[in-house]
């Protein structure tokens, strides 16, 4: 399949990247001022970032919020565009509605007014995390603590648990309509780097089918499937140092490779990849930053080296 062509110049606000040998790292920027940023989604001229806020990621403390950023200028339009949430995480946009998970509920907000338009409580939910869109009415939502995936109908305001296996610490979700397949990864369990990347098919049957991939396991979080033959996901690597990375898995070769970004990260969570400008928007949950990186040709083999042995992921 034809791979995505990545542009080498971005008519945007980025500062020039430091020169180095190897793959072309075009432009990058980091934004500060966030509070445990967990997820990023783009819509039109704006970028939205969910902030879990200070304290426990499971606490119902109302100090979570969603930031609105001017995509072209790279500045806050409103730091707390939507506030009073508990621990908002995964987000998607359908038409003019922003859907977000918040511990044990799925909320909807009008992007023009920031007013809440929907609340679907999932009483048994413990750690609702990422969201994937099947269509305008149906969402898939992961529960990292319970290792579950819910099918949520926003028009009927109903939900059900998918009768299917999930990775340990079910986390990132992406639904690919052409394949009728839900991609999912896992953060792992009990502090172990055993999260895996998998696919779930036959979703409308009574027993969907779970197929694990040979992708390198880890503390997986964000997930993106820009084309059928490439899968991109973030891996925290650990929960202490700045060694987190963005990986690319090639189903044909069954190889896992690291995207050559400027440095390693502390807590790279649910990133957003703007394929039109080849920009990664990566929320660094443990650094309270948003990292924005443009790369030329990220999906071509020549721009990767397995595990990037020449790149110091410990460099601050």
pLDDT tens track for 112-146: 999 999 999 999 999 999 999 999 999 999 999 99
In sequence order, what are the residues at sequence separation of 6 or more whose Cβ sits closer than 8 angstroms to the Cβ of residue 190? Answer: none
Nearest CA to 31 out of 316, 293, 312, 246 is that of: 293
Q: Is the pTM here over 0.85, yes or no?
A: yes
Q: Is the pLDDT of residue 276 over 70?
A: yes
CB-CB contact of 259 with 248 (8 Å): yes
CB-CB contact of 217 with 194 (8 Å): yes
Handedness of CA 281, 282, 283, 289 (dihedral sign): negative
In this prediction, residue 297 carries a pLDDT of 59
Q: What is the pLDDT of residues 69-91, one digit of tens each?
A: 999 888 999 999 999 999 999 99
Quote the CA–CA distance of 174 and 190 in Å, as a whole number.
24
Q: What is the pLDDT of residues 183-229, one digit of tens each?
A: 999 999 988 999 999 999 999 999 999 999 999 999 999 999 987 67
The two three-digit tokens of residue 121, written as one number: 């409580």
In this prediction, residue 25 carries a pLDDT of 54
Q: What is the pLDDT of residues 37-53, one digit of tens each?
A: 999 999 999 999 999 99
Quote the CA–CA distance of 148 and 250 in Å, as a whole number.
26
């Amino acid at each position: 399949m034809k791979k995505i062509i990545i542009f080498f110049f971005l008519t945007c606000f980025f500062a020039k990247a430091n020169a180095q040998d190897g793959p072309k790292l075009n432009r990058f920027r980091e934004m500060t001022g966030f509070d445990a940023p967990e997820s990023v989604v783009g819509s039109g001229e704006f970028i939205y970032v969910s902030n879990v806020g200070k304290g426990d990621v499971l606490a119902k403390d109302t100090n979570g919020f969603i930031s609105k950023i001017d995509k072209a200028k790279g500045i806050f339009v409103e730091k707390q565009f939507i506030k009073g949430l508990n621990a908002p995480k995964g987000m998607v946009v359908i038409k003019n509605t922003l859907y977000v998970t918040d511990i044990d509920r799925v909320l909807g907000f009008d992007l023009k007014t920031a007013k809440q338009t929907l609340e679907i409580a999932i009483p048994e939910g413990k750690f609702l995390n990422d969201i994937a869109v099947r269509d305008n009415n149906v969402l898939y939502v992961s529960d990292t603590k319970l290792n579950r995936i819910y099918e949520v109908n926003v028009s009927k305001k109903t939900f059900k648990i998918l009768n299917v296996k999930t990775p340990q610490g079910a986390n990132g979700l992406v639904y690919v309509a052409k394949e009728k397949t839900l991609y999912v990864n896992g953060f792992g369990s009990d502090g172990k780097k055993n999260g895996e990347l998998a696919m779930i098919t036959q979703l409308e049957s009574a027993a969907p089918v779970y197929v694990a991939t040979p992708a390198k396991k880890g503390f997986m979080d964000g997930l993106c499937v820009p084309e059928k033959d490439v899968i991109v996901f973030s891996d925290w690597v650990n929960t202490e140092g700045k060694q987190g990375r963005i990986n690319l898995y090639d189903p044909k070769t069954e190889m896992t490779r690291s995207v050559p970004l400027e440095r390693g990260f502390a807590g790279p969570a649910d990133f957003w990849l703007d394929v039109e400008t080849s920009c990664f928007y990566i929320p660094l949950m443990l650094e309270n930053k948003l990292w924005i990186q443009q790369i030329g040709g990220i999906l071509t083999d020549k721009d990767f080296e397995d595990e990037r042995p020449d790149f110091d992921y410990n460099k601050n």
